[in-house]
Amino acid sequence: MKVPADLRYTKEHEWVRVRGSEAEVGITDFAQGELGDVVFVELPALGTRLQQMKSFGTIDAVKTVSDLFAPVSGEVSAVNTDLKDNPALINQSPYEKGWMVRIKMANPAETEALLSAEAYEKALGAHA
């Protein structure tokens, strides 16, 4: 299971890659493994305003349907449209091709409240 050191994480298993004033968001390798094969993902439209730790969509897998939570507040600036035709990208490449949305952050300091890779790995230890 991969936990890239350069990302930030939520306890709900989303990851964030900060690029300037934007945050790229997806779910972690652990989360996609727990969900099983992803068959559909519902994501917000461009321009949607998101609030930190509020639901921004759902992910449907063979085992269950789960809410997706915004790790930061802001406006959706990009949506990974490849996931519409190929949601399995989330399973195959959760940190690269399986990204879900990019958010123009309203308050970049919110990322400081997210977990570091080390803290996320410790949180996962509780699941083992």
Name the pairing type of β-strands 38-42 and 65-69.
unpaired
- Sorting pLDDT into bands at 50, 70 and 90, what band is 127? low
- Please state, as a whole number, how many other Cβ atoms lie within 10 Å of the Cβ of residue 22: 18
What was the pLDDT predicted at 63?
A: 83
The chain-wide mean pLDDT, for the chain, equals 95
* Tens digit of each residue's pLDDT (9 = 90 or more) over 32-59: 999 999 999 999 999 999 999 999 999 9
Inter-residue contact 50 to 75 (CB < 8 Å): yes
Q: Residues with Cβ < 8 Å from 121, sequence gap 6 or more?
A: 3
Task: Please give the CATH architecture assigned to the domain spanning 12-106.
Answer: Beta Barrel (2.40)
The average pLDDT across 97-106 equals 98
CA angle 76, 40, 29 (to 5 degrees): 75
What was the pLDDT predicted at 30?
A: 96
Inter-residue contact 115 to 10 (CB < 8 Å): yes
**The residue type at 123:** A
In this prediction the pTM is 0.94
